[in-house]
Amino acid sequence: MTSNETYLGDVHDVNGTTVSIVISSRSVTGFIYINGQGYRAGQIGGFVRIPIGLYDLYGIICQVGASAIPASMIGSEMAGNRWMTVQLLGESQRDGNFQRGLSQYPTIGDKVHLVSEKELNSIYGRPDKPYFVKVGHVSNADSIPALVDVNKLITRHSAVVGTTGSGKSTTVASLINALSDNERYPSSRIIMLDLHGEYGHAFKNKANIYKINPDSASSNIETELNIPYWALNFDELCEICFGDFNNEKDKNIVMERIHKEKAKSLKNHPKAGVDLDTLSVDTPIPFNIHNLWYELYIETFGTYYSKNPGKPLNNLAFEIDENGNELIGNAQLGIPPIFKNIKNDQGDAEKINHLPGNTALNIGKQITLLGTKLRIPRYSFLFRPADWIADEDGKTHNDLDSLIEGWIGTQKNISVLDLSGVPSDILQTVIGALLRILYEALFWARNLSQGGKYRPLLIVMEEAHIYLNDDFKGLASKVVQRIVKEGRKYGIGAMIVSQRPSEINPTILSQCGTFFALRLANSSDRSQVTSTLSDNLEGLTNMLPILKTGEAIILGEAVKLPMRTLIDPPPKNARPDSQDPVVYDEVPIEISQQPGGWGIKMEANPNYSELIEAWRAQNPRIKKLSNK
């Protein structure tokens, strides 16, 4: 359509994909009627069309007014405020499909037209196509659905960014609800890393919910989260169990001991796919870490009778309790033995702190740290992982296949891994281990029906700035860099969710092909988003501070044109548990659904002992547990 009623102006300057346009004097009011419908001409974020022969070029308005004039025209007779800068995005043949990219460029004098709602409808895509998923509607155009290409959203990775309170969690919930539609996508599979326990409420019975402290009284079906320590590779296990070693020699000794324990376990309980010749210290083979800790503790701290005959254990000089029993500790409970002092007591044989001919291990700090963690219940999801705990000879009730199947192989399309109970000192390492386990499982299964090539997996990473920060040289950041660089080939997609995109590793963010940018007030966050986009859309991203709650600018490969979109929120009873607390509710108390606020009277005798109990237990549901 090239009618005069859509005419805006003429091309005056072309600099790559940036086009400067002189606005026609006929558009002096800035208001144009097309087919009886009124349009504001020259709105930032609006679309224009430049007909060239059999093609139409499409662009988005990024700048309007005197500042949009080309530098070469400043001071000329054409200077003024009737200028517009347009960023070209793609093209289509007349009555054909729109495609990103350009095969030709406009020239001086080409006519520029406003794009009507009817044309936008044909460009954005058809909602009846199964590979398009509707996430909302275009702002100021309720009749145009906001459609996202599922193929490119998953395989080319994505990011959802927005400041606190911008509707980020609700947007993620809307996306996941749409992608997990059993009728359209019966084989979709999505795994969410939920750091604050927000999404269990949103998905309820629609998802497998894994928690470190599952609530059996909850209406949600929650399962205990277990991550077996023996599924971790050596570097991950060292970070969690031992921390830093004093030197490479001590680290190599521990590595050899772990390999020895895995070899003993494999010999007792053979596993398909590995034998003693191909076994490495990183192979996920069950072994008993409590026995390993006990042996290393004795070798590091043990006191021996140098003149006593027999095996080393018989030579140990244990302290004696009041009943005459040796204080040998308990390996499986993480209780260390207590040895006699090196100084000889009357009647004792000569005592030494290590066996003759051997050198004591210099890993006392590391062994003490591991022993402490073995005794603390908060680490039980790692060191006592229910059906995956290894007995003294390495036998387990279940293998890793049941663990992976529970996460990504059940009839439910979504699995929420609630990591809110993970101790903060190991959170980044645990996340890195989780992601590596998932990646390696699908990488090596790429030719199998369970692999990602046949059934792609989307990994949603909430609060990504916490563990993908460029300042942290953690395992999580390294694994995610590998996923975003190589995961596309193996059917593994990433969705990065963050309120501070400027704190995320730039390599990770640059690999995200699609952005859902909600309100961002911080200039450094906006700059980070702008710099990672393939299109020069700085004028559009400058709108980010003024977006409404729940409104997003969607840019990138999964949409045909950038869209300013109002996201369709889930029902109120299916939203993430991340809403702001109500300070004052105008609704009368008797009909209000809010739990409290400053407008209601305080209860007569608040029980603050419950507060302390919940704090100490690190469990927000402690009141329910206490009342059982």
Contact 145, 127 (CB under 8 A): yes
**Closest to 327 (Cα-Cα) out of 359, 302, 362, 349:** 302
Evaluate if residue 562 carries a pLDDT over 60. yes
Split at pLDDT 50, 70, 90, the class of 194 is very high
Evaluate if residue 592 carries a pLDDT over 50. no
**pLDDT, average across residues 41-51:** 82
Q: Which helix (H) or strand (E) holds 313?
A: helix 312-315
Q: Identify the weakest region by mean pLDDT among 126-130, 175-179, 424-428.
A: 126-130
Q: What is the pTM of this model?
A: 0.86
Which of the 8 DSSP states describes residue 335? B
Split at pLDDT 50, 70, 90, the class of 534 is low
pLDDT tens string 332-390 = 999 999 988 877 666 565 777 665 555 567 888 999 999 999 999 999 999 999 999 99
Q: Which pLDDT score, from 0 to 100, does residue 149 have? A: 92
DSSP per residue, 281-295: TTS-----HHHHHHH
Split at pLDDT 50, 70, 90, the class of 77 is low
Write the CA distances from 75 to 23, 34, 85, 136, 189, integer angstroms.
18, 35, 18, 45, 59
Q: Which pLDDT score, from 0 to 100, does residue 103 have? A: 87
Residue with the bigger pLDDT between 202 and 259: it is 259
* One-letter amino acid for residue 353 of the chain: N
Write the CA distances from 109 to 19, 23, 30, 41, 149, integer angstroms.
12, 12, 21, 19, 35
Evaluate if residue 593 carries a pLDDT over 60. no
DSSP per residue, 67-80: GGS-GGGTTSTT-S
Split at pLDDT 50, 70, 90, the class of 627 is very low
Evaluate if residue 316 carries a pLDDT over 60. yes
Q: What is the dihedral of CA 135, 139, 145, 147, to 10 degrees?
A: -50
Q: Which pLDDT score, from 0 to 100, does residue 527 have? A: 85
CA distance 80 to 23: 11
pLDDT tens string 444-497 = 999 898 888 899 999 999 999 999 986 556 789 999 999 999 999 999 999 999
**pLDDT, average across residues 495-513:** 92
475-486 and 234-241 helices, crossing angle to 10°: 150
Q: Which pLDDT score, from 0 to 100, does residue 86 have? A: 92
The mean pLDDT of the chain is: 84
Split at pLDDT 50, 70, 90, the class of 625 is very low
DSSP per residue, 131-151: TEEEEEEETT-TTSEEEEEHH
Residue with the bigger pLDDT between 614 and 253: it is 253
Write down the domain spans for the chain: 4-124, 147-199+403-571, 234-378, 589-626
Q: Which pLDDT score, from 0 to 100, does residue 360 have? A: 61
Residue 620: CB atoms within 10 Å = 14
pLDDT tens string 8-37 = 899 999 988 899 999 887 654 455 555 655
Report the 3 state secondary structure along 164-200.
Answer: CCCCHHHHHHHHHHHHCCCCCCCCCEEEEEECCCCHH
Split at pLDDT 50, 70, 90, the class of 432 is very high
**pLDDT, average across residues 430-445:** 94
Q: Which pLDDT score, from 0 to 100, does residue 38 have? A: 57
Q: Which pLDDT score, from 0 to 100, does residue 13 have? A: 92
Q: Which pLDDT score, from 0 to 100, does residue 1 have? A: 46
Rg (CA), the chain: 31
Token pair of 296, please? 């290393």
Q: Which pLDDT score, from 0 to 100, does residue 54 have? A: 86
In the numeric block, the tokens 């590979």 are attached to 131
Evaluate if residue 322 carries a pLDDT over 80. yes
**pLDDT, average across residues 257-266:** 95
Q: Which helix (H) or strand (E) holds 414?
A: strand 414-418
b/e 109-128 (16+ beta carbons within 10 angstroms → b): ebbbbbbbbebbeebbbeee
Contact 495, 160 (CB under 8 A): yes
Split at pLDDT 50, 70, 90, the class of 518 is very high
Task: Domain 147-199+403-571: state its class.
Answer: alpha beta
**pLDDT, average across residues 245-254:** 89
CA 155 to chain CA centroid, nearest Å: 15
Evaluate if residue 406 carries a pLDDT over 90. yes
- Please classify residue 464 by burial: count the beta carbons closer than 10 Å to its beta carbon, then call 0-12 exposed, 13-18 middle and 19+ buried: buried
pLDDT above 70: percentage of residues in the chain: 85
pLDDT above 90: percentage of residues in the chain: 45
**pLDDT, average across residues 255-283:** 94
**pLDDT, average across residues 552-581:** 84
Residue 546: CB atoms within 10 Å = 9
Q: What are phi and psi of 357, to 5 degrees?
A: 90, -15
